[in-house]
């Protein structure tokens, strides 16, 4: 749980007793490359904190093409909030891009943990606010930047993703074809 606690300490204060309380409500999970944490139609059971590795969240469009909506690497959270909160079947898949380890915060433990640890509730609110802000930024870039500008902004802002994630997945996330990414990369050289 150390990576999660280290991340939490950037936002809230936790003492050893509070860490012990929280640790009792969490568990660790290893996921093989291409293994799923969530599939379309399942109800999302938890929030996932990436300790090691990389995950992607995507859906299948009507034309059968995968549309990636989120990546998560070390110290990032990922979940289907709507499925988790409303306990309805998910429209998304969450899949490991590489061997991944996550700390799992199960929905069933969350109310009791937040009641005992107000700092957890505060921390999670801050994380959700940051995730929402990132979504707003992505929408801003989609509506105001050209495709090439979006690619350059993404690759400059998140070089670790461009290095670790296959080009076709970056293209899916940004909303264009892998061939388009190849053209952009060749012009930049």
Say how far apart CA 135 and CA 71 lie, in whole Å: 12
**Mean pLDDT (whole number) for 4-9:** 95
pLDDT digits (tens, 9 = 90+) for 89-138: 999 999 999 999 999 999 999 999 999 999 999 999 999 999 999 899 88
Domain coverage including residue 63: 2-117
Answer whether residue 52 is part of any domain.
yes
Answer whether residue 113 is part of any domain.
yes
**Mean pLDDT (whole number) for 144-162:** 87
CA-CA distances (angstroms) from residue 94 to 5, 17, 35, 76, 103?
A: 23, 33, 9, 14, 15
pLDDT of residue 152: 86
- Total domains in the chain come to 1
Report the percentage of the chain scoring pLDDT > 70.
98
Is the model's pLDDT at 29 over the cut of 90? yes
CATH code: domain of residue 96 = 2.60.120.10
Answer whether residue 90 is part of any domain.
yes
pLDDT of residue 81: 95
**67 contacts 13 by C-beta, under 8 angstroms:** no
Is the model's pLDDT at 188 over the cut of 80? no
Q: How confident is the model at residue 1 (pLDDT cuts 50, 70, 90)?
A: low
Q: How confident is the model at residue 183 (pLDDT cuts 50, 70, 90)?
A: confident
């Amino acid at each position: 749980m150390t990576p999660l606690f280290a991340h939490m300490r950037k936002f809230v204060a936790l003492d050893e007793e509070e860490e012990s309380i929280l640790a009792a409500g969490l568990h660790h999970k290893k996921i093989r490359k291409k293994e799923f944490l969530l599939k379309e139609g399942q109800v999302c059971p938890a929030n996932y904190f990436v300790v090691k590795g990389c995950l992607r969240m995507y859906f299948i469009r009507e034309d059968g093409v995968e549309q990636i909506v989120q990546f998560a690497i070390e110290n990032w959270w990922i979940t289907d909030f709507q499925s988790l909160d409303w306990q309805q079947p998910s429209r998304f898949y969450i899949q490991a891009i590489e061997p991944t380890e996550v700390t799992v915060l199960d929905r069933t433990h969350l109310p009791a943990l937040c009641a005992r640890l107000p700092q957890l509730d505060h921390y999670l609110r801050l994380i959700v606010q940051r995730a929402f802000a990132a979504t707003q930024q992505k929408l801003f870039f989609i509506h105001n930047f050209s495709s090439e500008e979006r690619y350059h902004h993404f690759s400059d802002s998140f070089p670790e993703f461009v290095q670790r994630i296959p080009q076709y997945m970056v293209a899916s996330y940004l909303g264009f074809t892998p061939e388009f990414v190849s053209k952009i990369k060749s012009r930049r050289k």
